[in-house]
Structure 1
Amino acid sequence: MKNLTDEELMILVSNDNLDMMSILFDRYHIRIFNFLLKMTRDRDISQDITQEVFYKAIKYRKSYKKGKFSSWIYTIARNIFSDHYQRQKNKDQRLDEIEYKVERQEIDTIEKVEIKEQLNKALRELNPSDRELVIMNRYQGIKYQEIAEITGSTAGAVKTKVHRAIHKLKDCYLQNI
Structure 2
Amino acid sequence: MLEELIQNYYDRIQYYFIQRVKDRYIAEDLTQEVFLKVVLALPKRQPDHFESWLFTIAKFTLYDHYRRKKISVGVEDLATLASDDLPFNQKAISDTALIDAINRLSDKLRRPLILSIRGYSYQEIAAIIGVKESTIKSRIFQARQKIKKQVKE
Give the TM-score, by structure 2 length.
0.62
Q: Return the match for 2:17 from 28, 42, 45.
A: 28
The answer to whether 1:141 aligns with 2:119 is yes
Q: Is the 8 A contact 1:130 1:165 kept in 2?
A: yes
Q: Cα gap change, 1:68/1:53 in structure 2, threshold over 3 Å: closer, same or farther?
A: closer
Shift of residue 163, structure 1, vs aligned partner: 1.2
Query: Of the candidates 131, 140, 153, which is equivalent to residue 162 of structure 1?
Result: 140
Tell me the residue number matched to 1:57: 34
Q: CA, structure 1 residues 52+166, in 2 after alignment: closer, same or farther (shift >3 Å)?
A: same
- Which stretches in structure 1 are left out of the alignment for 5+ residues? 1-12, 34-45, 86-94, 106-110
Q: 1:72 aligns with which of 22, 47, 60?
A: 60
Q: Percent identity of the aligned residues? A: 16
Task: Give structure 2 stretches of 5+ with no counterpart.
Answer: 43-51, 80-89
- How many aligned residue pairs are there? 125
State the distance in 2 between where 1:136 and 1:47 align.
18
For 1:27-83, what per-residue CA distance to the aligned partner results, in whole angstroms no more than 9, with x for missing partners?
A: 3313222xxxxxxxxxxxx443332222222222339x959737424313314524x
Cα separation, partners in 2 of 1:127 and 1:133, compared to 1, 3 Å: same
Determine whether 1:127 maps to 2:106.
yes
TM-score (norm 1): 0.55
Whole-Å separation in 2 of the counterparts to 1:25 and 1:67? 12
Q: Secondary structure at the match of 1:50?
A: helix
Structure 1 residue runs of 4 or more that deviate by more than 6 Å after TM superposition: none
SS in 2 for 1:17: helix
RMSD: 3.6
> By how many angstroms is 1:114 displaced?
4.7
